Amino acid sequence: MTYVLYGDEGSGSGPVEMALAEIGAPVDLRSVPLQGDHQLAADYRRINPMGRVPTLILPDGTVMTELIAILVTLDDRHRDAGLLPPPGSSARAVALRWMALLTGEFYPHVTRWDYPERFIDDPAQAKSLRDRAQEMGREIMRLVEEQALTGPGPYLLGDRFCLTDLVIATLSRWLGGRQWIPGHCPRIEALAQAVAARPACAAIWARHRLASQPT
């Protein structure tokens, strides 16, 4: 019943690791250092042709890529862990809506910020591309702050933790968020702190260096 997770510290493998820890499932962690572009190596691309992390190999050998698909699959396979509200419920619809927004809309801005050279011919344009990616990412975080986290908190669904909290918490640290979020999005910051304090998540949160660094 062991999962194999390919990832790197500070990357999208963090929320997958935390989800597996919440389940209590054994995991074999395989490091793919983004520093040095090991994700683009031919042997890794045979597993994940996009050259990205995370990649999760299910115990039966099925290869899973794409953070949202990985997390929903873990919920499918471990319903007793209560990682998402039940299928058909409005609470699950809310959780999936915001998870999809962050993985589908925010994540691509991270790629522009991390690898601007992929999107431009003239290196002189890199700074303006990165600035624009950061601002567009911040617009999405403001949306989460103002339109998703309208309840009593600290989590998206109030005091009921779900997988979307792992996604909001982790992605809120990116694009300079460890410095920016605490002063601009207090509800997201409270959610991140609540995730960081969860017994199953705390050590993983620390190892992925996700702690806030307010300016």
Ligand X SMILES: N[C@@H](CCC(=O)N[C@@H](CS)C(=O)NCC(=O)O)C(=O)O
Whether omega for the bond prior to residue 59 falls within 30 degrees of 0, making it cis, is no
The reply to whether 31 sits near ligand X by the rule CB under 6 A is no
Residues 6+ apart with CB under 8 A from 208: 9, 10, 11, 14, 17, 170
Say if CB 30 and CB 55 are below 8 A apart. Answer: no
Q: Quick one: 167 or 187, whose CB is closer to ligand X?
A: 167
Structure tokens belonging to residue 17: 């690791």
Instruction: Residue 118: count other Cβ atoms within 10 Å of its Cβ.
Output: 9
Q: Which stretch binds ligand X (CB under 6 A): 51-59, 131-139, 157-165, 194-202?
A: 51-59
Instruction: Compute the residue count for the chain.
Output: 215
Q: Quick one: 18 or 154, whose CB is closer to ligand X?
A: 18
Q: Quick one: 31 or 111, whose CB is closer to ligand X?
A: 111
The reply to whether 52 sits near ligand X by the rule CB under 6 A is yes
Q: Rounded to the nearest whole angstrom, what is the least distance from the CB of residue 39 to ligand X in the complex?
A: 5
The reply to whether 164 sits near ligand X by the rule CB under 6 A is no
User: Which residues contact ligand X by CB under 6 A?
Assistant: 11-12, 34, 39-40, 51-54, 66-67, 103, 107, 111, 115
